[in-house]
Amino acid sequence: MASSAAIRPTRSPRRRALAALATAAVLIPLAACGGGREEDGGGGASGGSEQQTRLTVLAAASLTDVFEQVGKAYEKGHPGVRIGFSFAGSQELAAQVRQGAPADALVTADTRTMDGLAGETGQPAVIARNRLVIAVEEGNPKKAGALEDLTGGRLKVVLAAEEVPAGRYAEQILDARKLTVEPVSQEVSVRAVLSKVELGEADAGLVYQTDAETAADKVDAVGIPDAQNAVASYPAATLKGSEHAKEAARFVKWLSSDEARELLRKAGFQEP
């Protein structure tokens, strides 16, 4: 058996698919997420002269649910700002940044992706951490209880692709235990992995603890001991291409505030 975790579906087509998806993501207009300053045309007492700053934040897919709450909380405390999010796998977000997609801030699910964009971002700060679990069908009918149960072909296992942070974390922990897993598919985001398990298209998948909690009525989470697990770090940074550098910096700084950390904690994230 090889010393690395052999996650062995065909890789070239997957990389081509990921590249195509990333390129497509860049071409999708981000107008729906906000961007730029615009006048309040609501016909208020100000006669439409009041302006609001609209920030676009690119964020890892595993932050989807909690960042909807984060955005509302920030807007409540900062009435002149509106936040729009674009969620995707961190590797797709990085591709968007490199190709000049208009955005103001970035939050990835790993430091490696953020570090690779050093020339495009301000100084990043880790705002939260996460860990992997084994997501299984509700009731765990196949009795998956440990990483070793993912080997041997007894279960239909789905993982995130190796280009995705969750996929790299999965490979890391499997490699450490010299386990070979042959997934039925490798997905472009951790949420896609979770969806496969929810829909019954896979018996098990490695996802973040917080993702499993968002689907607690459809999947169960089998814990992985800390000694066998990997810690996922979520760095946030402003983007140098932002047209609203000061407002973006305030938002990124606020993500490390007590209020933001409490929202992240309630969603199952761990403090940095």
Task: Give per-residue pLDDT as tens, 1-54.
Answer: 434 444 444 444 444 444 444 444 444 444 444 444 443 433 333 334 457 999
**List of domains in the chain:** 30-38+51-128+233-266 (3.40.190.10), 131-231 (3.40.190.10)
C-alpha–C-alpha distance, residues 244 and 124, integer Å: 17
Q: First-to-last CA distance in the chain?
A: 36
Q: Kindly report, residue by residue over 154-180, the tens digit of the pLDDT.
A: 999 999 999 999 999 999 999 999 999
DSSP secondary structure letter of residue 269: P
Residue type for position 242: S
